[in-house]
Structure 1
Amino acid sequence: MKYLYIVRHAKSDWPADTKDFDRPLSARGMRDAPKMAAHLLSMGVRIDKFISSPAKRAIATCKYFAEAYHNNDIEAVDKLYMAAPEDFTDTILQIGDRHDHVALFSHNNGLTYFVNALTSENIGHVPTCGVAAFRVHTGSWSDFVNAEKEFLFFYYPKMLA
């Protein structure tokens, strides 16, 4: 059994003369990311691998989660920046099978499209620092496409207030 946590980066800022890729987290994002990570930990969620878009706001969000989990196993994957749904699938198919609990950090709109394609739940829009979780009924990430995906939960920061 594999577990997949899909995380949209936390709220970001857009300072003048800053490229999209280089946008940092806002003060709210810096509050929400550790809060969401702590919430998952309190639920007993395990994460043994962190995979992120290399964009500054996604990596920063990922680092907050990795710090909470005392795990520095972070991999930056270029195709998760402005990813289309198939980019998520391609990334998942490359995950090593020694990792059973994986978190992917990326951006909208592709992230929301991908999450909604995995479930019949009415998730709609994934807000910043939203987390959707799935149990993937397989022993190998390479079987992800054909494996049964079971929706577990969907949380976002305003639900935790």
Structure 2
Amino acid sequence: MKQVSLFRHAKSSWKYEITDMFRPLNHRGYRDAALMATTTECFVPDLICCSPAVRTYSTALYYLKQLAIPMDKLHLDWALYEASGQRLFDYLNTLHEGHQHIWLFGHNPGLNELVDISTGKEIGNIVTGAIVTLRWQTEHWDKLTPKQAVLADIKIPPKQPE
């Protein structure tokens, strides 16, 4: 079985006039990332694939720190920056067979599109800070097929006053 947990970056800030890839998290984003990392029970992954955008990398670091995951499991890849769902699906097809459970930190709409492609079902908007877990009944990443994944879990940050 192959499993992918998709992490949408926490809420980002539009306060600064900077290039999109450098946008940081906002106050709510920092709060939600810390809360989700401390309250969400997750399988520790074999590999963490992450867009190198500041907001995505910052979100991932909360999980690594909280769960004491070594930094050498973190792989930053520009191919994940604002990638489409099809590009993300193709990316999964290239992963090393030794990895069973992958975490992927990325962006919408690509993550939503990946869920739609993988399961054949639309789940609505994956909110910032949410985690969606998909499972395939295969032992080979290059054998993942569209519409064959099971939507195993969705976790969203709790609503809190600003």
TM-score range, shorter chain: 0.7 to 0.9
SS at match of 1:116: helix
Q: What is the one-letter code of the residue matched to 2:134?
A: F
Q: Distance in 1 between matches of 2:142 and 2:104?
A: 16
Q: What is the one-letter code of the residue matched to 1:67?
A: K
Single out whichever of 13-22 and 151-160 deviates more from structure 2: 151-160
Q: Give the Å deviation of 1:69.
A: 2.5
Q: Give the Å deviation of 1:30.
A: 1.2
Single out whichever of 28-37 and 2-11 deviates more from structure 2: 28-37
Q: Give the Å deviation of 1:39.
A: 3.1
Q: Distance in 2 between matches of 1:39 and 1:119?
A: 27
Deviations 1:64-110 (A, max 9, x none): 11222222211111121111111111221222222211111111112
Structure 1 pair 155–94 and aligned structure 2 pair: CA distance change class (3 A): same
Q: Distance in 2 between matches of 1:111 and 1:147?
A: 15
Aligned 1:49-128 pairs, distance under 5 A: 49-71=47-69, 72=71, 73-119=73-119, 123-128=123-128
SS at match of 2:134: strand
Q: What is the one-letter code of the residue matched to 1:89?
A: F
Q: What is the one-letter code of the residue matched to 1:66?
A: L
Q: Give the Å deviation of 1:152.
A: 0.7
Q: What is the one-letter code of the residue matched to 1:55?
A: A
Single out whichever of 107-116 and 5-14 deviates more from structure 2: 107-116
State the identity %: 30
Q: Give the Å deviation of 1:116.
A: 2.6
Flag structure 2 segments of 5+ consecutive residues without an equivalent: none
> What TM-score, normalized to structure 1?
0.87
Aligned residue pairs total: 159
Q: CA RMSD in A?
A: 2.2
Q: Give the Å deviation of 1:121.
A: 5.4
Deviations 1:16-51 (A, max 9, x none): 22111100111211111132223332xx53322110
In structure 2, the residue matched to 1:3 is: 3
Structure 1 pair 67–48 and aligned structure 2 pair: CA distance change class (3 A): farther
> What TM-score, normalized to structure 2?
0.87
Flag structure 1 segments of 5+ consecutive residues without an equivalent: none
**Does the CA contact (< 8 Å) of 1:116 and 1:124 recur in 2?**
no
